[in-house]
Structure 1
Amino acid sequence: MTAPPFPLRTECPPGTCNCGRGALLQAPGGDLRALRLTRAEEKKLVERLENLSSLADLRHMQARMEQQLGLRLAITLSPHEVRSLRGIAIGVLEQPGLCRKTRQAIPAAIKKSMDRHPAIAYALLDEGGLFGAA
Protein backbone atom coordinates (compact mmCIF):
# COMPACT_ATOMS: atom_id res chain seq x y z
CA MET A 1 0.00 0.00 0.00
CA THR A 2 1.32 3.46 -0.88
CA ALA A 3 0.96 6.43 1.41
CA PRO A 4 -1.75 8.92 0.39
CA PRO A 5 -0.58 12.35 -0.84
CA PHE A 6 -2.10 14.14 2.17
CA PRO A 7 -1.46 14.06 5.93
CA LEU A 8 -3.50 11.46 7.81
CA ARG A 9 -5.14 11.76 11.20
CA THR A 10 -3.02 10.19 13.90
CA GLU A 11 -4.27 6.99 15.41
CA CYS A 12 -6.35 7.19 18.59
CA PRO A 13 -5.06 5.40 21.70
CA PRO A 14 -5.99 1.69 21.69
CA GLY A 15 -9.43 0.95 23.13
CA THR A 16 -10.68 4.55 23.03
CA CYS A 17 -12.10 4.64 19.52
CA ASN A 18 -13.94 2.34 17.16
CA CYS A 19 -13.21 4.21 13.93
CA GLY A 20 -11.73 1.27 12.05
CA ARG A 21 -8.74 3.31 10.88
CA GLY A 22 -6.46 0.29 10.57
CA ALA A 23 -8.94 -1.73 8.52
CA LEU A 24 -9.60 1.27 6.28
CA LEU A 25 -5.89 1.73 5.59
CA GLN A 26 -5.56 -1.97 4.72
CA ALA A 27 -8.60 -2.06 2.42
CA PRO A 28 -7.68 -1.59 -1.23
CA GLY A 29 -9.63 1.29 -2.72
CA GLY A 30 -10.98 2.43 0.65
CA ASP A 31 -12.32 5.98 0.97
CA LEU A 32 -9.58 7.70 2.96
CA ARG A 33 -11.16 11.16 2.87
CA ALA A 34 -12.29 10.97 6.52
CA LEU A 35 -8.66 10.46 7.56
CA ARG A 36 -7.83 13.87 6.07
CA LEU A 37 -9.51 15.39 9.10
CA THR A 38 -6.45 15.76 11.31
CA ARG A 39 -6.92 17.00 14.86
CA ALA A 40 -5.92 20.53 13.83
CA GLU A 41 -8.34 20.47 10.88
CA GLU A 42 -11.07 19.06 13.12
CA LYS A 43 -10.55 21.95 15.52
CA LYS A 44 -10.94 24.45 12.65
CA LEU A 45 -14.05 22.64 11.37
CA VAL A 46 -15.70 22.61 14.80
CA GLU A 47 -14.90 26.30 15.27
CA ARG A 48 -16.42 27.07 11.86
CA LEU A 49 -19.55 25.04 12.68
CA GLU A 50 -19.91 26.84 16.02
CA ASN A 51 -20.04 30.13 14.12
CA LEU A 52 -22.72 29.35 11.56
CA SER A 53 -25.00 32.31 10.95
CA SER A 54 -27.78 30.96 8.74
CA LEU A 55 -29.37 27.81 7.36
CA ALA A 56 -27.71 28.55 4.02
CA ASP A 57 -24.36 28.57 5.84
CA LEU A 58 -25.19 25.22 7.45
CA ARG A 59 -26.21 23.70 4.11
CA HIS A 60 -23.01 25.02 2.52
CA MET A 61 -20.87 23.44 5.24
CA GLN A 62 -22.87 20.24 4.99
CA ALA A 63 -22.15 20.02 1.25
CA ARG A 64 -18.45 20.85 1.73
CA MET A 65 -18.03 18.20 4.44
CA GLU A 66 -19.58 15.57 2.19
CA GLN A 67 -17.55 16.65 -0.83
CA GLN A 68 -14.16 16.95 0.87
CA LEU A 69 -14.37 14.42 3.71
CA GLY A 70 -17.23 12.12 2.77
CA LEU A 71 -19.04 13.09 6.00
CA ARG A 72 -22.82 13.03 5.84
CA LEU A 73 -25.03 14.74 8.39
CA ALA A 74 -28.47 13.50 9.35
CA ILE A 75 -30.67 16.32 10.62
CA THR A 76 -34.09 15.12 11.67
CA LEU A 77 -36.97 16.74 13.47
CA SER A 78 -38.96 15.08 16.20
CA PRO A 79 -42.24 13.62 14.94
CA HIS A 80 -43.84 15.45 17.85
CA GLU A 81 -43.86 19.16 18.45
CA VAL A 82 -40.40 20.76 18.46
CA ARG A 83 -40.23 23.08 21.47
CA SER A 84 -36.48 23.37 21.83
CA LEU A 85 -33.25 22.27 20.21
CA ARG A 86 -33.76 18.87 21.83
CA GLY A 87 -36.44 18.24 19.22
CA ILE A 88 -33.84 18.54 16.47
CA ALA A 89 -31.55 15.53 16.19
CA ILE A 90 -28.22 16.03 14.45
CA GLY A 91 -25.92 13.13 13.79
CA VAL A 92 -22.93 12.26 11.66
CA LEU A 93 -23.48 9.00 9.84
CA GLU A 94 -20.93 6.34 10.74
CA GLN A 95 -18.09 6.00 8.36
CA PRO A 96 -14.86 4.01 8.54
CA GLY A 97 -11.98 6.21 9.67
CA LEU A 98 -14.15 8.77 11.43
CA CYS A 99 -13.27 9.14 15.10
CA ARG A 100 -16.00 8.69 17.70
CA LYS A 101 -15.16 12.04 19.29
CA THR A 102 -15.52 13.77 15.92
CA ARG A 103 -18.96 12.21 15.45
CA GLN A 104 -19.92 13.82 18.76
CA ALA A 105 -18.16 17.18 18.31
CA ILE A 106 -19.73 18.09 14.96
CA PRO A 107 -23.39 17.89 16.09
CA ALA A 108 -22.53 19.67 19.35
CA ALA A 109 -20.94 22.53 17.40
CA ILE A 110 -23.97 22.85 15.11
CA LYS A 111 -26.34 22.90 18.10
CA LYS A 112 -24.17 25.60 19.67
CA SER A 113 -24.64 27.70 16.53
CA MET A 114 -28.38 27.12 16.63
CA ASP A 115 -28.42 28.16 20.26
CA ARG A 116 -26.62 31.41 19.40
CA HIS A 117 -28.66 32.00 16.24
CA PRO A 118 -32.19 30.61 16.75
CA ALA A 119 -33.05 31.75 13.21
CA ILE A 120 -31.14 28.69 11.94
CA ALA A 121 -33.44 26.36 13.86
CA TYR A 122 -36.53 28.28 12.74
CA ALA A 123 -35.40 28.15 9.10
CA LEU A 124 -34.76 24.43 9.49
CA LEU A 125 -38.28 23.97 10.83
CA ASP A 126 -39.67 26.08 7.99
CA GLU A 127 -37.75 23.95 5.53
CA GLY A 128 -39.35 20.88 7.05
CA GLY A 129 -42.78 22.32 6.34
CA LEU A 130 -43.74 22.67 9.98
CA PHE A 131 -44.36 26.42 9.71
CA GLY A 132 -45.32 26.52 6.05
CA ALA A 133 -48.33 28.37 4.75
CA ALA A 134 -51.62 26.73 5.61
Structure 2
Amino acid sequence: MLPQPPFPIRKECPPGACVCGRDDLLNDPQGDVRILRMTREEEKRLIERIESITSYEELKRIGSRMYEQLGIVLQIAPGSREVRTVRGISIRLAEQPGLCRKTRQNVPAAIRRCLEKNPDIVYAILNAHDLLGG
Protein backbone atom coordinates (compact mmCIF):
# COMPACT_ATOMS: atom_id res chain seq x y z
CA MET A 1 0.00 0.00 0.00
CA LEU A 2 1.23 3.50 -0.88
CA PRO A 3 1.95 6.05 1.86
CA GLN A 4 -0.82 8.64 2.21
CA PRO A 5 -0.07 12.36 2.73
CA PRO A 6 -1.94 14.09 5.58
CA PHE A 7 -4.37 15.75 3.15
CA PRO A 8 -6.95 14.46 0.62
CA ILE A 9 -5.29 13.57 -2.69
CA ARG A 10 -6.44 13.02 -6.25
CA LYS A 11 -7.72 9.55 -7.01
CA GLU A 12 -5.62 7.55 -9.39
CA CYS A 13 -6.55 7.45 -13.06
CA PRO A 14 -7.70 4.20 -14.66
CA PRO A 15 -4.77 1.96 -15.68
CA GLY A 16 -3.34 2.98 -19.04
CA ALA A 17 -5.34 6.23 -19.18
CA CYS A 18 -2.62 8.45 -17.74
CA VAL A 19 1.15 8.52 -17.35
CA CYS A 20 1.30 11.06 -14.54
CA GLY A 21 3.52 8.97 -12.28
CA ARG A 22 1.26 9.46 -9.26
CA ASP A 23 2.36 6.22 -7.57
CA ASP A 24 6.06 6.94 -8.15
CA LEU A 25 5.58 10.39 -6.65
CA LEU A 26 3.88 8.95 -3.57
CA ASN A 27 6.75 6.49 -3.11
CA ASP A 28 9.45 9.17 -3.46
CA PRO A 29 10.25 10.66 -0.03
CA GLN A 30 11.79 13.72 -1.76
CA GLY A 31 8.85 14.14 -4.16
CA ASP A 32 6.76 17.31 -4.26
CA VAL A 33 3.26 15.97 -3.56
CA ARG A 34 1.55 19.39 -3.66
CA ILE A 35 0.13 18.59 -7.11
CA LEU A 36 -1.80 15.66 -5.66
CA ARG A 37 -3.86 18.09 -3.55
CA MET A 38 -5.76 19.00 -6.71
CA THR A 39 -8.66 16.57 -6.64
CA ARG A 40 -11.07 16.44 -9.55
CA GLU A 41 -13.41 18.77 -7.66
CA GLU A 42 -10.58 21.24 -7.05
CA GLU A 43 -9.63 21.04 -10.72
CA LYS A 44 -13.21 21.94 -11.70
CA ARG A 45 -13.08 24.96 -9.36
CA LEU A 46 -9.74 26.01 -10.87
CA ILE A 47 -11.13 25.72 -14.41
CA GLU A 48 -14.15 27.85 -13.47
CA ARG A 49 -11.84 30.42 -11.85
CA ILE A 50 -9.60 30.56 -14.92
CA GLU A 51 -12.57 31.02 -17.25
CA SER A 52 -13.77 34.00 -15.17
CA ILE A 53 -10.45 35.89 -15.41
CA THR A 54 -10.86 39.40 -16.84
CA SER A 55 -7.33 40.88 -16.87
CA TYR A 56 -3.73 39.95 -17.63
CA GLU A 57 -2.71 40.78 -14.07
CA GLU A 58 -5.33 38.37 -12.76
CA LEU A 59 -4.06 35.66 -15.16
CA LYS A 60 -0.50 36.17 -13.89
CA ARG A 61 -1.74 36.06 -10.29
CA ILE A 62 -3.55 32.75 -10.92
CA GLY A 63 -0.39 31.37 -12.54
CA SER A 64 1.73 32.33 -9.54
CA ARG A 65 -0.86 30.88 -7.12
CA MET A 66 -0.85 27.61 -9.08
CA TYR A 67 2.91 27.48 -8.64
CA GLU A 68 2.84 28.39 -4.94
CA GLN A 69 0.10 25.97 -3.98
CA LEU A 70 0.53 23.09 -6.43
CA GLY A 71 3.98 23.49 -7.99
CA ILE A 72 2.45 23.88 -11.47
CA VAL A 73 4.53 26.02 -13.83
CA LEU A 74 2.29 27.81 -16.34
CA GLN A 75 3.95 29.10 -19.51
CA ILE A 76 2.07 31.55 -21.75
CA ALA A 77 3.79 33.21 -24.69
CA PRO A 78 3.15 34.11 -28.31
CA GLY A 79 3.73 31.13 -30.58
CA SER A 80 6.78 30.87 -32.80
CA ARG A 81 4.69 31.73 -35.84
CA GLU A 82 2.40 34.65 -36.54
CA VAL A 83 -0.32 35.26 -33.94
CA ARG A 84 -3.61 35.86 -35.73
CA THR A 85 -5.94 34.17 -33.26
CA VAL A 86 -5.89 32.89 -29.71
CA ARG A 87 -4.60 29.60 -31.16
CA GLY A 88 -1.34 31.42 -31.91
CA ILE A 89 -0.67 31.83 -28.19
CA SER A 90 1.40 28.99 -26.71
CA ILE A 91 -0.06 27.80 -23.39
CA ARG A 92 1.75 24.96 -21.63
CA LEU A 93 2.04 23.40 -18.23
CA ALA A 94 5.61 22.29 -17.55
CA GLU A 95 6.23 18.55 -17.19
CA GLN A 96 5.75 17.54 -13.58
CA PRO A 97 5.39 14.19 -11.83
CA GLY A 98 1.83 13.74 -10.59
CA LEU A 99 0.25 16.17 -13.07
CA CYS A 100 -2.61 14.29 -14.72
CA ARG A 101 -2.82 14.20 -18.53
CA LYS A 102 -6.38 15.56 -18.42
CA THR A 103 -5.32 18.48 -16.22
CA ARG A 104 -2.47 19.17 -18.64
CA GLN A 105 -5.15 19.55 -21.36
CA ASN A 106 -7.98 21.16 -19.37
CA VAL A 107 -6.07 24.12 -17.91
CA PRO A 108 -4.72 25.42 -21.27
CA ALA A 109 -8.17 24.89 -22.84
CA ALA A 110 -9.76 26.97 -20.06
CA ILE A 111 -7.16 29.71 -20.58
CA ARG A 112 -7.89 29.74 -24.32
CA ARG A 113 -11.63 30.13 -23.62
CA CYS A 114 -10.78 33.00 -21.26
CA LEU A 115 -8.60 34.66 -23.92
CA GLU A 116 -11.32 34.28 -26.55
CA LYS A 117 -13.77 36.12 -24.24
CA ASN A 118 -11.19 38.80 -23.32
CA PRO A 119 -9.07 39.93 -26.28
CA ASP A 120 -7.51 42.65 -24.11
CA ILE A 121 -5.64 39.91 -22.25
CA VAL A 122 -4.22 38.64 -25.55
CA TYR A 123 -2.99 42.15 -26.39
CA ALA A 124 -1.42 42.43 -22.94
CA ILE A 125 0.40 39.10 -23.48
CA LEU A 126 1.67 40.29 -26.86
CA ASN A 127 2.69 43.63 -25.35
CA ALA A 128 4.49 41.89 -22.46
CA HIS A 129 6.58 40.06 -25.05
CA ASP A 130 7.17 43.33 -26.94
CA LEU A 131 5.33 42.17 -30.06
CA LEU A 132 3.28 45.35 -30.34
CA GLY A 133 6.32 47.60 -30.13
CA GLY A 134 5.28 49.04 -26.78
TM over 0.5: yes
Is 1:21 matched up with 2:28?
A: no
Query: How far apart, CA to CA, are the structure 1 residues paired with 2:3 and 2:23?
Result: 14
CA gap 1:2/1:81 in 2 versus in 1, 3 angstroms: closer
Is 1:124 matched up with 2:125?
A: yes
Match of 2:78? 77
CA RMSD of aligned residues (A): 1.2
Alignment of 1:53-72 (within 5 A): 53-72=54-73
Query: How far apart, CA to CA, are the structure 1 residues paired with 2:93 and 2:29?
Result: 24
Match of 2:31? 30
**Is contact 2:21–2:98 with CA below 8 Å preserved after alignment?**
yes
Amino acid at match of 2:115: M
**Is contact 2:77–2:125 with CA below 8 Å preserved after alignment?**
no
Match of 2:113? 112
**Is contact 2:74–2:92 with CA below 8 Å preserved after alignment?**
yes
Shift of 1:2: 4.9
Q: Deviations over 1:71-121 (max 9, x none)?
A: 001112123331111210101111101100000000000010000011000
Query: How far apart, CA to CA, are the structure 2 residues paired with 1:93 and 1:100?
Result: 12
Query: How far apart, CA to CA, are the structure 1 residues paired with 2:30 and 2:81?
Result: 42
Q: Deviations over 1:10-68 (max 9, x none)?
A: 00000000000010011112100010000000000011011110000100000000000
| SS of the residue 2:123 aligns to | helix
| SS of the residue 2:132 aligns to | coil
**Is contact 2:77–2:129 with CA below 8 Å preserved after alignment?**
no
Query: How far apart, CA to CA, are the structure 2 residues paired with 1:79 and 1:27?
Result: 37
Query: How far apart, CA to CA, are the structure 2 residues paired with 1:128 and 1:35?
Result: 32
Paired residues, number = 133
Alignment of 1:5-16 (within 5 A): 5-16=6-17
Compute the TM-score of the two structures, normalised by the length of structure 2.
0.95
- Unpaired runs of 5+ residues, structure 2, are none
